[in-house]
Chain A
Amino acid sequence: MKNPKQHAEFAAIPILDAEAIQRVLRRIAHEIIERNPALDALILAGIPLRGAEISKRIAGFIETIGKIKIDTGVIDVSMHRDDVGTRAELPVVRASQLPLPLDNRTVVIVDDVLFTGRTCRAAMDAISSFGRPARIQLAALIDRGHRELPIRADYVGKNLPTAASERVRVRFENLDNEPDGVWLLKPQER
């Protein structure tokens, strides 16, 4: 068992603060409403941990604006990833929870950072093992580029051009005991 990753060798550049995150998620909520006239067919399904948190927050905004209860869910993609057997250590797998059946529903996959697109592909596979939704959409708080698959987000909080060596750090007060925020971590020359 290893210690959490150290970020000591990175410089952290603030990208979004707590207020900006809420503003961006409220805007995504409006976009989702605009694109999906049948709000009762929506399921916002977050990828643990922070995607699940984001999906709850967006659902909260949609509920306030649309005066309607929005279904949320959790999709853990670990079992559907294509890199099993290539990692030196594995994180814990969590149970997926989706309101069933999925027929005629629109599932919006919600993640914190969209990067290679592989997580999204795994999420789509995971969803199809629960049933056949009418459509699947993708929302991401940050799109950092570097896609390795033909995948694009329907809703993006912020486009953030990055180098492959950089990292994006997302933190939420209620999960991490530190204020909400997004940072770009740049590796430092020694």
Chain B
Amino acid sequence: MTKRADKNLAASSRALRWTRKDLLGLRELSAEEITFVLDTADAFKQVGTREIKKVPALRGKTLVNFFIEPSTRTRTSFELAAFRLSADVINISATTSSLAKGETLKDTARNLEALHADILVLRHSSAGAPQFLAQHLQTSVINAGDGAHEHPTQALLDLYTIREKKGTVAGLHVVIIGDILFSRVARSNIFGLVKLGARVTLVGPSTLVPREFEKLGVTISHDIDDVLPSADVVNLLRIQHERQRKEYFPGIGEYVRLFGLTSARAKRLNPDCLIMHPGPINRGVEIDSDLADGVQSVILDQVTNGLAVRMAVLYLCAGIATP
């Protein structure tokens, strides 16, 4: 480490302290807080390389994974992160909870709190559900995706992966392609990337990439071939069939032709441009199969880094004393 880096560390260690019990979205975080989480994740990533890959930080704490919408990656990642921190985990899905019997979300959550759950990781189809619960509960609430609103830990792990591979986020040109309108991943990424100083371009059909997004400080394009040559990172989003109640584009074939990252199209990319995807991948739709497995793809690094980022988030939010 250089002397200058030492000084920066000393300065940051004095100036910055984490004080939030909830992580609801990236919109309310400052650039410093986002960087703080990423720095903390660095330390937790290193735990995975130890002989004993488990630390006692959250020993005796209980985490409830409350997933009203289906998920494998995010739920498993939170569960493993909690195990690595020595917390106990309960998993509840919509079908196994009393929500199916007509209990309200608030009542279910208050019952979980009465059982002394310390951390509630919530995935919900309605935007704002985590915020609602955070206001009513002492428990730490972590948003694991709420409707088309935010998915903060996904954006943090994307930022972490970009920073890890490129050294910095500031000044990079990040291109997000696909279903922006229905994507909580896109929203959280936009907030985070803009705050950390990246240049963001959104690409997709005008029905799925409306002009309103320009207010968030990004550029909009409907011509993928025009944008790809200057990209440092492309982040591909899945078409969210489950959220589209009517047809937003003529068909999959046309989508692939106009916006899919095909092998032919990828030749326009810089050789060191990163290809990212939050998963699950629809191979042959938003991305060609051999690109998803190619040298530019960091899709599996994203999964590995997700674990470190979620350990950091759980440690920080649950590590704060609640009144």
Contact = CB atoms under 8 A, between A and B. Distances in A.
A53 B6 CA distance: 9
Given A80-B56, A90-B320, A174-B6, A130 B50 contact: yes
B56 A125 contact: yes
B321 A175 contact: no
B15 A4 contact: yes
B42 A95 contact: yes
A124 B155 CA distance: 35
A80 B40 CA distance: 14
Contacts of B39: 92-94
A177 B10 CA distance: 10
A96 interface: yes
Interface string B27-62: 000101100100110111111001110111110010
Contacts, number: 117
A81 B57 CA distance: 7
Given A79-B43, A80-B56, A174-B7, A91 B319 contact: no
Interface in A45-92: 48-49, 53, 76, 78-81, 84-92
A156 to B, nearest CB: 24
Contacts of B45: 95
B267 to A, nearest CB: 38
A165 interface: no
Contact of A129 (B33, B40, B52): B52
Interface in A80-116: 80-81, 84-97, 100
Interface in A117-131: 125-126, 128-131
A129 B54 contact: yes
Nearest to B57: A79
Interface string B11-35: 0111111110000000000101100
B312 to A, nearest CB: 8
Contact of B10 (A95, A96, A175): A175
Nearest to B4: A174
B315 interface: yes
B10 A129 contact: no
Contacts of B9: 48-49, 94, 175
30 contacts: A1-B33, A2-B17, A49-B9, A49-B10, A79-B47, A79-B56, A79-B85, A80-B55, A84-B58, A84-B318, A84-B319, A85-B319, A87-B320, A88-B19, A89-B17, A90-B17, A90-B320, A91-B17, A92-B39, A92-B40, A93-B39, A93-B40, A95-B46, A125-B56, A129-B54, A130-B50, A130-B52, A131-B51, A174-B6, A175-B10
Interface of A: 1-4, 48-49, 53, 76, 78-81, 84-97, 100, 125-126, 128-131, 174-177
Interface of B: 3, 6-7, 9-10, 12-19, 30, 32-33, 36, 39-40, 42-47, 50-52, 54-58, 61, 85, 118, 312, 315-316, 318-321
